[in-house]
Amino acid sequence: MWFKSINSRGDFIFEKQGLKIFELKFPKWYSHRAVVSYDKSNIEIKPKSIWKSEYIILKNNQKKGSITSNWKGEVSIQFFDELNHKHNFQLMSKGFWKQRFELYNDKMSLLNIITPSVNWKKISSDYELENKANSLEEKHFNELMIYTGFYVILHKKNTASSVSGGAV
């Protein structure tokens, strides 16, 4: 599984076994808002406020979840499925020189390891996803990958901005 970068704005394709599952787009290169069509739904992720530590997940213009980060690099992803069942996950940044992300379910069982794969020709990063344990239905797992990919790409954009001294 991969998050494959398709341009400098951060847009990416989630690919599983060589098949495109969805494409997430940031409307502008400096945007903290993303849109994606998946499973007959239009999903939008946007900041709750100017502080950009909490993002609202809208599915067909209805609030269906949130992504919240704290100063320790821990990210909480929460969303509701079509039956209004709540799904909770934790995304944690690991490593310093070789940074990766680890995704955990609400019982703190490791689900995925997300590792960047830099391509200097594209001046971007693709991310390889290593599945550790997956007890989710495929459509819920794929939806979780929307929110996970959004945050991973946003984190990269913010890190690049802070290194270069600019604001994203």
Q: For the chain, what are the domain ranges?
A: 2-164
Look at residue 51 in the predicted model and tell me its pLDDT: 75
Residue type, 71: W
- State yes or no: pLDDT of 135 exceeds 80: no
- State yes or no: pLDDT of 123 exceeds 70: no
Domain 2-164: assigned CATH number:
2.40.160
Within 8 A by CB and 6+ apart from 18, the residues are: none
- Mind listing the pLDDT tens digit for each residue in 68-98? 998 887 899 999 988 999 999 999 988 877 7
Which pLDDT band holds residue 121 (cuts at 50, 70, 90)?
Answer: low
Do residues 54 and 68 make contact, with C-beta atoms less than 8 angstroms apart?
A: yes
Give the residue, 119 or 137, on which the prediction is more confident: 137
Look at residue 20 in the predicted model and tell me its pLDDT: 96
Instruction: Report the chain's C-alpha Rg in angstroms.
Output: 15
- State yes or no: pLDDT of 166 exceeds 70: no
Which pLDDT band holds residue 105 (cuts at 50, 70, 90)?
Answer: very high
Interatomic CA distance for residues 143 and 41, integer angstroms: 11
